[in-house]
Amino acid sequence: MPKKKVIVIGSGFAGIAAATTLATQGFQVTVLEKNEGPGGRARVFQAEGFTFDMGPSWYWMPDVFESYFNRFGKSTSDYYQLIRLDPSYTVIFGENEFVDIPAELKELYALFESFEPGSSTRLQAFLEQAAYKYKVGINNLVYKPSRSLTEFIDFKLLIDVFRMDVFQSFHQHIRKFFHHEKILKLMEFPVLFLGAVPENTPALYSLMNYADISLGTWYPMGGMHKIVEGMVKLAEEKGVQFIYNADVQKIEVAQGIANKVITQNQEYEADIIVAGADYHHVEKNLLPAGSQSYTEDYWNKRIMAPSSLIFYLGINKRLQNLRHHNLFFDEDFKIHAREIYEIPRWPSRPLFYVSVPSKTDVSVAPEGCENVFILIPVAPELEDTPAIREKYYEMVMNRLEKLTGQPIRNAVIFKRSYAHQDFKADYNAFKGNAYGLANTLMQTAILKPSLKSKKVKNLYYTGQLTVPGPGVPPSLISGQVVAEEIRKEYGR
C-alpha cells in the first residue's frame, strides 16, 4: 500500500516538527517553503562577515527542545552546543541603573531582597506555584489538540484549571506576591514581549517566569538558526523532502477534499495538507470560496500579539556595558503597553530589547566587532515607512548611547531594518504581526483557531495562530500535536 502524501506549507518550527513526526509515522512528506531557506521567522542572513538571526533570540524551555529530539532517538547535543547564560540578561531601568539577572537562584533571592525585604520568601512561594503550572501545562495541557471541551473533562484537569489560575489575570496574581515597581517589571516583561498586557493575560502564564528563572536562559552556539539546521537535518534523515522558493498560490479543493497544492511553477498532489503558513493568509488567499473556517470579521476581531521593528547592526568595535540580552525599561511600561493594545499607534516612549550575541559567540561577528539586534515591540497594522523606521532608529540609538555611555552610530558598518511590510512580504503575516495571537483568556485552547479545517476534511493548521500559541517552544509543540491528530485519522 503506497504511503499517503502529505504536503506541509512552510518550514518554520511548527512545519518542520510536523513534517518530521509524520515522516516517522510512515507518511511521504514534502515541505514547500516560500523563502530561500528554512526557519520561517527564525531564518538567518549573513552580511559583511556578520551572521544575523532574523527573529527569535531567546532560548527558553530547554526541556521542550530536548523532548522533541528525544522522540526520534536524538538529543539537542547531536546538533548544537548549548550554554547557559549567566547573567541570564540585564535590565536597564535608567542611567546607572543596570540590573544583572543572575542565573543562580540564591543570587536572585538576594537581588529581590535588595529591592523589597521579604520578597525572596514570596518568590520561592511564587515559583512553587509556577513550577506546578509549568509541569501540568507543558506535560498535559499544551499537547492537547483543543478540538473539543471533552478533552478537558477529567477530574484532575478540572481541579488543575482552578489551581492554575486560568481565570485570574497575571496582573492581579503577581501583585499578591510583590509590590516593588522594578520587581513587577522584571516579572511582567515576558508577557508584554510575548503576547499581551498583564491585565488580559491569565495567571496561568506565570509558568513563563518559571521557565525564565528556574530553567534558565540558554544559547545555541552559532546562533538560533542552529536549531533549525538540526531540525532540517533530522527531518531529511527521516525522508522529508524540502523544496525552497516554492511560493504556494492555491490549494485545490473538490467536494470538501484538498487534493492539490499549486506553487508559482509546479503542482503537488496531496492526500493531506498541513498549513504552517499564516492561517489567515491560507484561508483568504489560498482556499477557494466557501472553504474558509472563519470569516474576515472573525479575524478582524482577534487580538494580535505585537509586531516588531527590528534593526540588525554590524559594529566595527567592541561595546561596553551591554550583555548578551538587554532589556531597556527606562520608559513607562504601561504607556508602551497601551500603545500596542489599547490605542494602537507607534509608541511615544518605546521600550526596547537589545541582543548582542557576539558577547557570547565570536563566530557571529568579525574579530573585534559586535553583532547587535535591536527590537521594539509595536502594534500590528501600523503605517510602515522608511522615514518612520529611521525616526525610531535615531530615538533608540540616542538612548542606547546615553545609557551605555559610548558612541555607537559612528561605528555602524552594516544596518538593516525589518518591520510590518517585511513580515507581510516574507511570511504573509496577518496585519504584519510578529508573534501570532495574544495570549488572552478568550484566545486560549479551544478558543483559538482550530488546528483542523471545519470545511476541508484533510486540511490541518499548525503554528503560532493555532494551538498552543506563540513562541518557539509552543510552535515546536504545535507541529507534534497536529501530526498526532493526522496519525489518529490517517495512520496505518
* pLDDT tens, position by position, 412-442: 999 999 999 999 999 999 999 999 999 888 9
Q: What is the DSSP string of 124-136?
A: HHHHHHHHHHHHH
Residue 97 lies in a domain: no
Beta strand extents in 131-247 (DSSP E only): 218-220, 241-243
Which of 376, 407, 427 is the last residue before a domain boundary? 427
In the predicted model, is pLDDT for residue 390 greater than 60? Answer: yes
Average pLDDT over residues 64-85: 98
Average pLDDT over residues 476-488: 97
Domain that holds residue 194: 106-215
How many domains does the chain contain in total? 3
Residues 203 and 229 in one domain: no
More confident residue, 198 or 225: 225
Q: Within a 13 Å sphere around the CA of 193, how many CA atoms are in the beta-carbon half? A: 23
Q: Which of 144, 178, 184 is nearest to 161 (CA)?
A: 144
How far is it, in rounded angstroms, from Cα 76 to Cα 155? 35
3-state SS class at 152 = helix
Q: Within a 13 Å sphere around the CA of 310, how many CA atoms are in the beta-carbon half? A: 24
Residues 382 and 413 in one domain: yes
Q: Within a 13 Å sphere around the CA of 167, how many CA atoms are in the beta-carbon half? A: 6
Beta strand extents in 217-364 (DSSP E only): 218-220, 241-243, 248-254, 257-263, 267-269, 272-275, 307-315, 325-328, 352-355
Residue 135 lies in a domain: yes
Chain segment 436-481, per-residue pLDDT in tens: 999 888 998 899 999 999 999 999 999 999 999 999 999 999 999 9
Residues 186 and 248 in one domain: no
Chain segment 274-331, per-residue pLDDT in tens: 999 999 999 999 999 999 999 999 999 999 999 999 999 999 999 999 999 999 999 9
Average pLDDT over residues 181-192: 88
Residues 297 and 441 in one domain: yes
Q: Which of 377, 225, 363, 411 is nearest to 307 (CA)?
A: 377
Res 371: pLDDT: 98
Mean pLDDT of the chain: 94
Residue 98 lies in a domain: no
In the predicted model, is pLDDT for residue 71 greater than 90? Answer: yes
CATH for 474: 3.50.50.60
Confidence of residue 9 (pLDDT cuts 50, 70, 90): very high
Which of 215, 243, 277 is the last residue before a domain boundary? 215
Q: Which residues contact 425 (CB under 8 A, 6 or more apart)?
A: none
Residues 365 and 322 in one domain: yes
In the predicted model, is pLDDT for residue 155 greater than 50? Answer: no
Contact 36, 303 (CB under 8 A): no
Confidence of residue 238 (pLDDT cuts 50, 70, 90): very high
Pairing state of beta strands 307-315 and 50-53? Answer: unpaired
Residue 92 lies in a domain: no
